[in-house]
Every structure is written in C-alpha cells, then in structure tokens.
C-alpha cells in the first residue's frame, strides 16, 4: 500500500500491466522518450523498450487504427490520445471500426484495446485542451467508457479495462492528475466496469456524478452536513454501461436527485440518468431531478473569469444541493 | 509471361480461381437482375491483380485486409463459393458476418481475412496495426491492405503509409487502380499520374505493375513480401487494371465512360489473356480446361442452391455480440 497521486496510480498500473503481460503495448504522441506531455508514461520506455512503448506519428486515426489491427492480431494495445480534444480525427476508427467489429463479424473478431485520454477543464486549457467528450462515446453500443475519480479506482479500472475483451475509453481528468491523492494497494486488483460506487451515504439529497466532480461533490457534502443536510453521493465510475440499479437505489432512497457533470448540459450523461429515473423510479421522487452541468457553449473559454463561469465548482454544487434539499 | 519460379500447378490453380471468381460474379449479377440478390459488387476485371497477389502470400497465415472489390481475392484466400453466396444472400451461416453486413464486406478469422466496414481507407491503418503486432510478436506474418485509387485521397491512407514506413512494418499496400472511383476519374482524384508516386513521400518503394497479368503481380507481391519479412518495411504496389462492369448493381457506368473505352480494355481481359497463356503453353490441356469449366459450373450451381436454401438469421440474435459474450 502506498499513497499516490491519481497520475502515479495510472503510471504504476501501466508499469505493472506491462510487466505482467508481454502483449501489452503503450503508444501515442510523445509517450516514449518524453514520457507523455503529462508524464503519465514517464520511465516506461526506459524499462520496456521502444517496441512496447512507442512514439507514434502525430496522427490520431493512425494511432487508433493501428491499435485495432494490433489487437486483432494478438496484442493488447493501450494507445494514448494526448488530449481528449484531439480524439476526433480518430472518431471514424473508434465508432465505425472498433465499436462495430465484433458485431459486424458476428462475434468472430474482437478489439481488446484501451484508449487513454486526459480530459476536462479548469486548467487554463481553453477550447481545445479542456473538453469533456465522454457523451459522444457513451452513445455508442460496442464501446465502454470509464472515468475514475480516485487513485484507487484509477488503478482498478485501468487493469479491468486492459483485461476487457472490448474497446474501452478511459478518461483521466487533467485537474485530478496531481491534486488527488490516496491509498493504492501494491497488488493487482480489478474494479468491474459498470459498477458505480456509493461514496457517501446520506438521507436528503443524492448527488450522482463521476470523475473530478466526485471530489467536488464530497466537499459540498461536508459543507452541507454542517447545515444539517445529509447528502448521498454516487460515483458512476462507468458511464457506459451505467449501473442502473445503483442509480435507481439512491433515487428511491432520498427522493431528490442532483446530477452533476462538467460536460455540457444538452445530451450529457445527466439526461440519460434522469430518463432512467423518470422511467423506473418516478413515484419515489419528492422533487424534480436537477442537472448541474457545463453550459451549452461550444467549449471552455480561456480567460479566467470565463473559464470559472463555465466550470462546475464545489460552491455551485453546494448551492444546487441546498436548494434541492429545501424543495 | 511465364516465369520459372511459378510452377505449372500454381498457374493452373491461379487460372482456376480467376475463372471461378468470374463465374460466381456473373451468377451474382443474374441473381440481382432476377430480384434474388439486393446488391452486387464485382471483382470483374480485377481478377489477375487479386489472384496474382494472393498466391504470392502465405495464404491463410499472412493477413489480408480486403475491400468490397475483392471477391477473387477472398476466393483465392480460401473462402468457398458457398460462403460467398451465403454472404450475398445475408444468411445466418454467412461466415463473414452472419448476415449482418451488406454483400462484399469480407472477413473470416480462420483464413486471416480481417473484417472490413464500408468506410474507405479505414482498412489501410488496420493492416499497419496487424503488422505492428507481427513485428512485436515476431510471428513471421505479412499484412496486405487492398484498396481502390479513389480511396487514396482519404487521410487515413496517408496516415497508414507514414506510420508503416516510420516503423518499418511488414505490410504491403496493394492498390487496385481501375481509373475510377464510381464515376470520378483518377485525373479528378489526384494531380499525379500514378498512385505509386505517393510512396516516395513516405520513404518506401512504389511499384507499378500490369494488374491484368497475374504472373507479374505475383512477382512484385513476392518481392514486397520478402522485403517485409527481411525487416525492410512496407511497399506500395499499384496494379493498373479496369473494372468491366458498373461500380455496383445500382450503378450505370454508361453515364460516365464510353463504350469504346470499355471495349478497348476488354481486349486485355485478364481472364482471356491468361486462359490463352495457360492453353498455349500447355499448362492446361484442352481436356483439363473443359473439365475445369464443368467443375466451376457445378460449384457455382451448388453454392447458389445451398445458399438459397440456407436459413436467414433469427431476429432474436439482433442483440448478440455487441460485447464479448
Ligand atoms: C469514406 C467514404 N466515403 C464515401 C464512400 C462511398 N463510396 C463507396 S466506393 C466509392 C468509390 C471508391 O473508389 P475506389 O477507391 O477507386 O475503388 P473502386 O470501387 O474503384 O475499386 C465511394 C465514393 C465510402 N464508402 N466511404
Ligand atoms: Mg477505382
């Protein structure tokens, strides 16, 4: 057991996995010599060589497309997209190819691959280094999408994603890399994909969220606790598949649901979660479901006041949960 | 035409697969015109390029990543006429996709034919990826991507060549240049005369070959394969050829090319010129030839009957294989 940052947990898991299975390769832009622009893959090329930790050309479709071929031919590729904002040149390969290969071959081919990509804002990354892109992929059957919120989950979800026989998108929040620390066991363990985590039990309001927003919601819950408002927090961890049972359980328990994500409101995961609750737990609700999300502007602006206005913060969560509790 | 390295038996077998592909293709068009097959994509005219290259590979072991044009290729690679017909008619037993994909979307794991979608040029990168694994695993396999000249305008074609060349991957990019992308002629597709010229920009050899001569195609593919296995990296092969029929059964090529042009190319129909070659050089006797033609007819009839009688997929399977199960 060691205390690690979120980033270290990812790196050490990659190292442990690369040691465990020779078929695993890691590649992407700058991941080798430089160890990645965020240093996630630092030291891996030195340990595992240029054959397994590969600096690829600057071409996202090629990175994902070759990973698909390599996966079919017996490797377990873990390609990195340098920023999730730049995943779009590869969307053709991810959606049309990786997601559909098993289905279109009637189960004969599969693509066991994990696409890692840093996402999220609040780091002065502006429009093209701040995006949350998970909803695009959560829409696609054939893909799985996971977003860890703690160093512990970062490890268990990454190992599970690598173990998975299907393509998994693994999104890492940039602001979490160094700000989140926690205990991480040394041994390998798997967190099942599709299982949410009840972070905190509560009585009055349920906050359903994922990624960096989990830690923000926990802060909000502490503040509200002092005011006598008891907040339950459900960390989805996986947004495709969703843990429907856990979502309905918490909605039924408190009867008040606040859905939080940094991704913009319209078409975000919050809409899907709200629909599930409306379909299956409507008569348990004591208030309308509330969604707190990034605003519907094309992407996060640069200038600090604008960026701050975009971001979902612990304060905004506190306010929204307080209002909902008083409904 | 004949080369010593290509035995008579091999040439006989090549001819058989070319003739089989043409006959099966003709049958598919008949089924389409009779309303029994919704759509057909042909290899008609491309047989020499496809069969010649397939025979230069370690068939069933080396990976091929075909496109919809490649009926003769997949036959040469071991897909049976029955399997082709099952695919055409969308039957449950179709080994390519269990009736899920539209016709000519090949893919068969046990023959190392990678599944392919409709989006052109995506497959080029997959071949590079297969080869990346081969390089790491040292499995002695070569991968070959097949594609039309029109698809080389896509970025993914260029990304694939670049990636493969940088990493010296054991892959061959095999272009079947028939001069048209549906109706768009090559001169409106690119400002260079030859696809092979693109190779230089990526640091790999670009080879032009007469795509209507299976023996020449065989030779250049063999050389490219040897380069790949020697760790010297990828090769771009451009096989110049022609398609004798419309792009698909929904197309009418009279709208964009003259009958004179088609007739001119038909003088060099690879099936006819290669037939003459095998007969003139006594690679195939007249008696053997007749026997072969009868066999092909029987095989095509059998495949048609078998596939028509085969079961359609059960709608209950609609949700199968979205994920590993
Ligand atoms: C990305 C994409 N755009 C458009 C199409 C539609 N389409 C199918 S085949 C084709 C022409 C391809 O021509 P070429 O690459 O020369 O191959 P050929 O059919 O001549 O063998 C087009 C435009 C497609 N399948 N994929
Ligand atoms: Mg063409």
Choose the final residue of a domain: A133, A161, A184: A184
Residue of A nearest to B101 (CA): A104
Is the pLDDT assigned to residue A2 strictly greater than 70? yes
Note whether A107 contacts B132, CB cutoff 8 Å: no
Q: pLDDT tens digits, residue range A18-59? A: 999 999 999 999 999 999 999 999 999 999 999 999 999 888
Please check whether residues A25 and A124 belong to one and the same domain. yes
Is A22 inside any structural domain? yes
The dotted CATH code for B8-308 is 3.40.50.970
B243 labelled catalytic: yes
Q: pLDDT tens digits, residue range B200-232? A: 999 999 999 999 999 999 999 999 999 999 999
Question: Which of B256, B257, B268, B306 is labelled catalytic?
Answer: B256
Question: Distance from A303 to chain B by nearest Cα, in Å?
Answer: 34
Using a 10 angstrom Cβ sphere, with 0-12 exposed, 13-18 middle and 19 or more buried, the burial of residue B276 is exposed
Please check whether residues A52 and A142 belong to one and the same domain. yes
For B136, the closest of A68, A75, A109 (CB atoms) is A75
B87 touches chain A (CB under 8 A): no
How far apart are alpha carbons A293 and A297 in whole angstroms? 11
Note whether A97 contacts B137, CB cutoff 8 Å: no
Using a 10 angstrom Cβ sphere, with 0-12 exposed, 13-18 middle and 19 or more buried, the burial of residue B316 is exposed
Choose the final residue of a domain: A184, A216, A247: A184
User: pTM above the 0.80 mark?
Assistant: yes
Is A190 inside any structural domain? no
Please check whether residues A157 and A210 belong to one and the same domain. no
What's A239's domain CATH number? Answer: 3.40.50.920
Cβ proximity of A242 and A235 under 8 Å? no
Choose the final residue of a domain: A125, A149, A184: A184
Enumerate residues 6+ apart whose C-beta is below 8 A from B272: none
Please check whether residues A145 and A68 belong to one and the same domain. yes
Q: What's the domain range around A211?
A: 197-326
List the Cα angle A309/A313/A315 in 5-degree steps: 105
Among B260, B222, B236, which Cα is nearest to B177's?
B236
Per cent of chain B over pLDDT 90 is 94
Please check whether residues A168 and A270 belong to one and the same domain. no
Token pair of B274 as six digits = 């290669």
pLDDT class of B4 with cuts at 50, 70, 90: low
Q: Give residue B26 CA to ligand 2 midpoint distance, Å.
A: 20
Sort strands B171-177 and B143-148 into parallel, antiparallel or unpaired: parallel
φ and ψ at residue A188, rounded to 5 degrees: -75, 135
Please check whether residues A176 and A202 belong to one and the same domain. no
Q: pLDDT tens digits, residue range B222-270? A: 999 999 999 999 999 999 999 999 999 999 999 999 999 999 999 999 9
Residue showing tokens 């919601």? A217
Q: Which residues line ligand 1 (CB under 6 A)?
A: B 69, 118-120, 148-151, 176, 178, 180-182, 247
Token pair of A259 as six digits = 């859905």
Please check whether residues A172 and A202 belong to one and the same domain. no
Number of inter-chain CB pairs under 8 A, A vs B: 154
Using a CB-CB cut-off of 8 Å, the residues of chain A touching B325 are 107
Please check whether residues A70 and A209 belong to one and the same domain. no
Is A192 inside any structural domain? no
Question: Distance from A106 to chain B by nearest Cα, in Å?
Answer: 5
Please check whether residues A257 and A225 belong to one and the same domain. yes
Enumerate residues 6+ apart whose C-beta is below 8 A from A253: A203, A206, A232
**Domain total for chain A?**
2
- Residue range B140-159: mean pLDDT, rounded: 96
Q: pLDDT tens digits, residue range B28-75? A: 999 999 999 999 999 999 999 999 999 999 999 999 999 999 999 999
Question: Distance from A98 to chain B by nearest Cα, in Å?
Answer: 10
- Cα separations in angstroms, A2 against A18, A20, A149, A153: 20, 20, 17, 14
Using a 10 angstrom Cβ sphere, with 0-12 exposed, 13-18 middle and 19 or more buried, the burial of residue B168 is middle
Q: Give residue B281 CA to ligand 1 midpoint distance, Å.
A: 38
Note whether A105 contacts B127, CB cutoff 8 Å: no
Among B190, B199, B192, B193, which Cα is nearest to B236's?
B199
Strands (E), chain A: 2-5, 24-28, 53-55, 76-80, 114-119, 144-146, 168-173, 181-184, 197-200, 205-209, 231-235, 238-240, 257-264, 290-294
Please check whether residues A201 and A157 belong to one and the same domain. no
Alpha-carbon A129 to chain mean position? 16
For B321, the closest of A92, A107, A144 (CB atoms) is A107
What's A139's domain CATH number? Answer: 3.40.50.970
Cβ proximity of A98 and A142 under 8 Å? yes
Among B228, B236, B229, which Cα is nearest to B147's?
B236
Tell which atom from ligand 1 comes closest to the C-alpha of B152.
15
Is A191 inside any structural domain? no
Q: Give residue A297 CA to ligand 1 midpoint distance, Å.
A: 36
For A96, the closest of B117, B166, B167 (CB atoms) is B117
Using a CB-CB cut-off of 8 Å, the residues of chain B touching A89 are 155
B168 touches chain A (CB under 8 A): no
Cβ proximity of B84 and B75 under 8 Å? yes
Alpha-carbon B134 to chain mean position? 22
Note whether B126 contacts A102, CB cutoff 8 Å: no
DSSP secondary structure code for residue B113 in this structure: B
Is the pLDDT assigned to residue B1 strictly greater than 50? no
Domain spans of chain B, in order of start: 8-308
Q: How many CB atoms lie within 10 A of CB B206?
A: 20
B167 touches chain A (CB under 8 A): yes
Which ligand number lies closest to the CA of residue B116? 1
How far apart are alpha carbons A198 and A224 in whole angstroms? 18
Residue showing tokens 């036959």? B75
Please check whether residues A101 and A172 belong to one and the same domain. yes
Please check whether residues A130 and A209 belong to one and the same domain. no
Is A179 inside any structural domain? yes
How far apart are alpha carbons B250 and A24 in whole angstroms? 45
pLDDT computed for residue B5 by the predictor:
73
Question: Distance from B131 to chain A by nearest Cα, in Å?
Answer: 7
Using a CB-CB cut-off of 8 Å, the residues of chain A touching B103 are none
Q: Give residue B120 CA to ligand 1 midpoint distance, Å.
A: 6
Enumerate residues 6+ apart whose C-beta is below 8 A from B212: B48, B49, B240, B241, B242, B268, B269, B270, B273
């Amino acid at each position: 057991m060691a205390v690690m940052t979120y980033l270290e947990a990812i790196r050490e898991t990659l190292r442990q996995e690369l040691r465990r299975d020779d078929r695993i390769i890691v590649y992407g832009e700058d991941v080798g010599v430089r160890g990645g622009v965020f240093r996630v893959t630092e030291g891996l090329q030195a340990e595992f060589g240029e054959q397994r930790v590969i600096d690829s050309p600057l071409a996202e479709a090629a990175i994902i497309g070759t990973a698909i071929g390599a996966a079919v031919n017996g490797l377990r590729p873990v390609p990195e997209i340098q920023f999730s904002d730049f995943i779009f040149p590869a969307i053709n390969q991810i959606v049309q190819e990786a997601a559909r290969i098993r289905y279109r071959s009637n189960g004969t081919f599969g693509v066991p691959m994990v696409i890692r990509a840093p996402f999220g804002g609040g780091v002065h990354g502006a429009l093209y280094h701040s995006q949350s892109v998970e909803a695009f992929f959560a829409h696609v059957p054939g893909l799985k999408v996971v977003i860890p919120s703690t160093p512990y989950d970062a490890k268990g979800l990454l190992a599970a994603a690598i173990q998975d026989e299907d393509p998994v998108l693994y999104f890492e929040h940039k602001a979490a890399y160094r700000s989140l620390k926690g205990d991480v066991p040394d041994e390998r363990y798997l967190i099942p994909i599709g299982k949410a985590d009840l972070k905190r039990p509560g009585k009055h309001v349920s906050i359903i969220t994922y990624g960096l927003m989990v830690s923000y919601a926990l802060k909000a819950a502490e503040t509200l606790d002092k005011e006598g408002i008891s907040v339950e927090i459900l960390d989805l961890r996986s947004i495709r598949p969703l843990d429907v049972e856990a979502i309905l359980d918490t909605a039924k328990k408190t009867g008040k649901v606040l859905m939080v994500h940094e991704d913009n409101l319209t078409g975000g995961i919050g809409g899907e979660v709200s629909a599930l609750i409306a379909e299956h737990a409507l008569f348990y609700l004591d208030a309308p479901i509330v969604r707190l999300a990034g605003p519907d502007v094309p992407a996060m602006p640069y200038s600090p006041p604008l960026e701050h206005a975009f971001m979902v913060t612990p304060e905004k969560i506190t306010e929204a949960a307080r209002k909902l509790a008083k409904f | 035409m004949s080369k010593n390295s290509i035995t008579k038996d091999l040439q006989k077998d090549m001819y058989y697969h070319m003739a089989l592909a043409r006959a099966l293709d003709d049958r598919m068009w008949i089924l389409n015109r009779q309303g029994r097959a919704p759509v057909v994509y042909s290899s008609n005219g491309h047989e020499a390029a496809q069969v010649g290259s397939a025979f230069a590979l370690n068939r069933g072991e080396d990976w091929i990543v075909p496109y919809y044009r490649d009926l003769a290729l997949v036959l040469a690679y071991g897909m049976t006429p029955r399997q082709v017909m099952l695919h055409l008619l969308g039957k449950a037993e179709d080994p390519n996709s269990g009736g899920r994909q539209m016709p000519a979307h090949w893919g068969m794991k046990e023959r190392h034919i990678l599944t392919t979608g409709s989006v052109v040029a995506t497959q080029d990168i997959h071949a590079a990826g297969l080869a990346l694994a081969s390089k790491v695993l040292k499995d002695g396999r070569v991968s070959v991507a097949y594609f039309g000249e029109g698809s080389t305008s896509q970025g993914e074609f260029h990304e694939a060549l670049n990636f493969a060349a940088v990493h010296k991957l054991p892959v061959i990019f095999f272009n079947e240049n028939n001069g048209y992308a549906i109706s768009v002629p090559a001169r409106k597709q690119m400002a260079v005369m030859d696809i092979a010229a693109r190779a230089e920009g990526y640091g790999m050899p670009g080879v032009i070959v007469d795509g209507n001569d299976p023996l020449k195609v065989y030779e250049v593919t063999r050389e490219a394969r040897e380069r790949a296995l020697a760790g010297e990296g990828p090769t771009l092969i451009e096989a110049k050829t022609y398609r004798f029929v419309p792009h698909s059964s929904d197309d009418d090529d009279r709208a964009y090319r003259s009958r004179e042009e088609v007739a001119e190319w038909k003088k060099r129909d690879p099936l006819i010129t290669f037939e003459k070659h095998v007969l003139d050089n006594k690679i195939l006797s007249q008696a053997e030839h007749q026997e072969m033609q009868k066999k092909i007819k029987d095989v095509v009839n059998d495949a048609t009957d078998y596939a028509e009688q085969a079961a359609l997929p059960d709608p209950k399977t609609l949700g199968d294989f979205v994920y590993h199960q």
